Amino acid sequence: MIKQNLGIRKSDVFNRRMFILGIAKVFILAGIVTRLFSLQINENKKYLTLSDKNRIREWKLPPIRGNIVDYFGNIIAGNLKVYQLHIIPEQVENFNYLLVRLKTLLNLSDKKIQKITKLKNKFKPWDSIIVSENLTWSQFLKVNNYLYDLVGVKPVMTISRNYPFNDVYTHVLGYVSQPNQEEIIKNKIVQERFVPGMKIGKLGLEKKFENHLIGTNSIQRYEVNAYGKRINQLEFQKGSQGNKIRLTLDTEVQKLSAKLLLNKAGSISVMDIYTGDIIAMYSSPSYDPNLFLFGISQDEWELIRNNPLKPLIHKTISGLYSPGSTIKPIVALSALENKIINPNFKVKCTGKTELYGQTFHCWKEKGHGFVSLKNAMKQSCDTYFYEIARLLGVDRLNITAKKFGLGEKVLGKYFDNEKQGLFPNTSWKKNNLGRGWVLGETLITGIGQGYTQTTPLQLCLMTAQIANGGYKIKPKILVNNKPLSLEQAKNSMKFDSLHSPNLKLFDDPKNIKIIQEAMFSSTNEIYGTSYKSRIDDPKYQFAGKTGTSQVKRISKRERELDLKLEQIPYKDRDHALYVAYGPYINPRYALSIIVEHGGSGSKAAAPMAKELFKLIIDRDKLRKKQSNFEDINI
């Protein structure tokens, strides 16, 4: 009986355990089924994506920048194909072995290998390291042929900036190069589109219009094997190129400017006197911006940086110079407008003016005799302008000079490095130097010396506004509107001036005409300071004013020695300046020229104007015929 009960109990325990095991199996099976259902149905997309990530690689390519073209549509900042080599460290099996192979294939230096190693330690494993930004075609082919043995290496065909005219447009365009961390953080668009190898604008218009020029990224999707080697391209999503920007500049005039200033330091500016279009804006010496695209070498950088002629300075807008005698048209106009003198007002020039024990010399040692306004302008008599400046006073002269653009930025909207310059008055000196103005300073201001500092572009604007009859214009370097004919431009300017008195820079139009005639005589009549540079053909005839700007005070001994230019140390030689407009009949263009330490404006600067006006006026018809592009409005 006891044995029977014991057997029954054992059977119950066994059955109970089997039941529990069965229940456990059911739960486990249900769990497995549920998990399988979840993996295959609910989380299908998630794991498919993870699987694809192991199988598919996505690369963002650097965005393609928009072209910058001149007025005639010539590409002055474009793009070209380049071949690059990238390494993705996380995909590399043996980094040291890979470097040895690349060193052999591409003949890399030990210094380059060390640099790559440093970048690997600095970057995150998934960040691309750029081994070379500009492989030759043969190097690119060689890498592709050995790609099976170069796991983690990515040959890339991409687009890089190109400046086809080398140094002709450098100071206008600037250049592009790889952004630093600060530049990436500051610009959200650059931040979003940044990929290794991408370049951004560092100077000039490339920098100013970065957000307009930058394009969107192209995206490549590849199927890869277990080693990360590309097997097949699955998709290519093409990005859009950046906006095209069209400038008012004429490449042919720009090239001639570069030729005329070859091996000289200086600037040439050319402007349409009605529309304000900048036709040329060249600063010399220049440098080739293509050097910066793939990293400039230390030797090349030192050559540019240590050049005594200072190629890094954009002299047209950042160079500050005493205007010398090129200021005399404004001095004469101010005296006429303020009724201080009339055209017949005469001064006797003996070669010097004595004032409170101080001597102010005229450039002509024995003087010019009795001169009227026209003859004083023609022969650039300093004594005459000492006297009318004395009668006028610096404060009234300052008002006229400011109206015509002196001491004010011309293109500040486009260039961050443009300087304002200075045209002084009595309150300026008191506020900035803490001293009162003295009469002798008025005299030297009247011949463009002393505290006065102008940029070459300001002098060009001043001349343009004299040439167009005394109307204010707004200079520009981007083409945004349809070009106007000569008559349309004139009529528009005169119509606007009736509604906006600020556009009219004169009180009596006769005074502007007097100045224009005086500038004509300076260039086209005998004894004129630029008479040797005249053009007799009315088609090309121009009116102008020379200027010679002292860079140091001339001592009595130096004046007595009367040294020739080549006998004076280069840094002590006067700057040579010239401003002009043409053609004299129906004028359309104004220019300013400065040759640093060139001596006299009549010998160094005025002859350049002769060559420039022939080209500028010949190209005027082509300019008028040029059809408009569809341009962005900035």
**At residue 234, does pLDDT exceed 80?**
no
d(CA 377, CA 545): 8
pLDDT value at position 498? 46
d(CA 621, CA 614): 13
Q: Are residues 217 and 258 in the same domain?
A: no
Q: Are residues 242 and 263 in the same domain?
A: no
Q: Does residue 38 fall inside a structural domain?
A: yes
C-alpha 571 chain-centroid distance: 27
Q: Are residues 559 and 602 in the same domain?
A: yes
Q: Are residues 494 and 449 in the same domain?
A: yes
Q: Tell the burial category of 588 from Cβ atoms under 10 Å away from its Cβ (0-12, 13-18, 19+).
A: buried
Q: What share of the chain is helix, strand, coil (3-state, %, to 5)?
A: 45, 20, 35
Return the higher-pLDDT residue of 196 and 96: 96
**At residue 480, does pLDDT exceed 90?**
no
| E-only strand ranges, 523-607 | 543-549, 575-582, 589-595
Structure tokens at 240: 């859009």
Q: Does residue 287 fall inside a structural domain?
A: yes
pLDDT value at position 19? 73
Return the higher-pLDDT residue of 127 and 628: 127
Looking at 198-212, 225-239, 295-309, 593-607, which range is the least confident one?
225-239
**At residue 610, does pLDDT exceed 60?**
yes
Q: Which domain-ending residue is among 231, 246, 261?
A: 246
Cα 364–Cα 437–Cα 445 angle in degrees, nearest 5: 30
What strand order describes the sheet that includes 219-224? 56-60, 219-224, 230-237
Alpha helices of 38-74 — where are they, by DSSP H?
44-55
Q: Are residues 38 and 72 in the same domain?
A: no
Return the higher-pLDDT residue of 151 and 402: 402
Residues 231 and 563 sit within 8 Å (Cβ to Cβ): no
Residues 359 and 308 sit within 8 Å (Cβ to Cβ): no
Q: Does residue 47 fall inside a structural domain?
A: no
Q: Does residue 517 fall inside a structural domain?
A: yes
Question: Which DSSP symbol is given to 627?
Answer: P
**At residue 129, does pLDDT exceed 50?**
yes
CB atoms near residue 204 (< 10 Å): 23
Give the tens place of pLDDT for each residue, 503-539.
Answer: 899 999 999 999 999 999 999 999 999 999 999 999 9
Q: Are residues 34 and 89 in the same domain?
A: no
Give the tens place of pLDDT for each residue, 182-227.
Answer: 999 999 999 898 887 788 999 999 999 999 999 998 887 777 665 5
H or E segment to which residue 79 belongs: strand 75-87
Q: Please give the mean pLDDT across all residues of the chain.
A: 86
Cis amide leading into 89 (omega within 30):
no
Q: Does residue 48 fall inside a structural domain?
A: no
pLDDT value at position 81? 85
Structure tokens at 157: 């065909």
Q: Does residue 317 fall inside a structural domain?
A: yes
> Which residue reads 């950088």 in tokens?
301
Phi, psi (rounded to 5 degrees) for 421: 75, -170
Q: Are residues 235 and 370 in the same domain?
A: no
Beta bridge partners of 287: none
pLDDT value at position 308? 93
Structure tokens at 180: 């630093």
Question: Which DSSP symbol is given to 40?
Answer: I
Q: Are residues 212 and 266 in the same domain?
A: no
3-state secondary structure of 95: helix
Domain span at residue 416 reads 251-625
Q: Does residue 51 fall inside a structural domain?
A: no
**At residue 321, does pLDDT exceed 50?**
yes
| Axis-axis angle for helices 394-403, 426-433 (nearest 10) | 100
Residues 444 and 450 sit within 8 Å (Cβ to Cβ): yes
- CATH code at 113? 3.90.1310.10
Give the tens place of pLDDT for each residue, 323-375.
Answer: 999 999 999 999 999 999 999 999 999 999 998 888 999 989 899 999 999 99
d(CA 234, CA 283): 50
> Which residue reads 């000039």 in tokens?
204
The share of the chain scoring above pLDDT 70, in percent, equals 85
> With helix as H, strand as E and coil as C, how does 238-283 read?
CCCCCCCEEECCCHHHHHHHHHHCCCCCEEEEEEECCCCEEEEEEE
Return the higher-pLDDT residue of 90 and 367: 367
Whole-structure pTM value: 0.83
Domain count, the chain: 3
**At residue 109, does pLDDT exceed 90?**
no
Return the higher-pLDDT residue of 381 and 198: 381
- Left (φ > 0), alpha (ψ -120 to 50) or beta: where does 521 sit? alpha
pLDDT tier, 61 (very low <50, low <70, confident <90, very high otherwise): confident
d(CA 373, CA 408): 28
**At residue 630, does pLDDT exceed 60?**
no
d(CA 172, CA 228): 45
Q: Which domain-ending residue is among 211, 246, 281?
A: 246
**At residue 264, does pLDDT exceed 60?**
yes
Alpha helices of 338-454 — where are they, by DSSP H?
373-379, 382-392, 394-403, 426-433, 439-445
Give the tens place of pLDDT for each residue, 281-300.
Answer: 999 999 999 888 877 888 88
Q: Tell the burial category of 113 from Cβ atoms under 10 Å away from its Cβ (0-12, 13-18, 19+).
A: middle
Average pLDDT value for residue range 75-98: 85
**At residue 487, does pLDDT exceed 60?**
yes
Q: Does residue 445 fall inside a structural domain?
A: yes
pLDDT tier, 153 (very low <50, low <70, confident <90, very high otherwise): confident
Q: Are residues 191 and 311 in the same domain?
A: no
Q: Are residues 461 and 496 in the same domain?
A: yes
- CATH code at 452? 3.40.710.10
- Left (φ > 0), alpha (ψ -120 to 50) or beta: where does 497 sit? alpha
Average pLDDT value for residue range 436-456: 95
Give the tens place of pLDDT for each residue, 306-320.
Answer: 999 999 999 999 999
pLDDT value at position 356? 84
Task: Give 277's contacts (C-beta < 8 A, 6+ positions apart).
Answer: 71, 248, 271, 475, 476, 477, 479
Q: Which domain-ending residue is among 246, 271, 302?
A: 246
Q: Are residues 507 and 467 in the same domain?
A: yes
Q: Are residues 192 and 327 in the same domain?
A: no
| Axis-axis angle for helices 394-403, 328-337 (nearest 10) | 110
H or E segment to which residue 58 belongs: strand 56-60
d(CA 534, CA 602): 11
**At residue 162, does pLDDT exceed 80?**
yes
